[in-house]
Amino acid sequence: MKVPRPLASLLMAPFLSPVVFAAPLTLEEAPLANPGFEDKLQSWKVRQNEPGVQVEEAAARSGNFGLRIVDESEAPEDNILITSDPIPVEPFGEYLLTFWARSENGSGVYGVGGAEIAFFDAEGNILTSIKPALPVFNTQGKWVRHILGTTAPPAAITMVIRVTSYTTSKGSIDFDDFEIGKVAEGAAAKP
- Please give the residue ranges that form the binding site for Ca ion (CB under 5 A): 36, 60, 63, 66, 176
CB of 61 to Ca ion, least distance (A): 6
The one-letter amino acid code at 59 reads A
**What are the phi and psi torsion angles at 142 (to 5°)?**
-90, 135
CB of 38 to Ca ion, least distance (A): 6
Residue whose CB is less far from Ca ion, 144 or 155: 144
- Distance (Å, whole) CA 45 – CA 85: 7
Residue whose CB is less far from Ca ion, 101 or 152: 101
Residue whose CB is less far from Ca ion, 36 or 135: 36
Residue whose CB is less far from Ca ion, 66 or 135: 66
- Distance (Å, whole) CA 170 – CA 78: 9
CB of 28 to Ca ion, least distance (A): 23
Residue 178 near residue 148 (C-beta atoms within 8 A)? no
- Distance (Å, whole) CA 27 – CA 121: 23
- Distance (Å, whole) CA 183 – CA 84: 20
For residue 164, the cross-strand partners are 81, 114
The H-or-E segment that residue 10 falls in is: helix 5-10
Residue whose CB is less far from Ca ion, 21 or 143: 143
CB of 58 to Ca ion, least distance (A): 11
- Distance (Å, whole) CA 69 – CA 90: 31
CB of 142 to Ca ion, least distance (A): 17
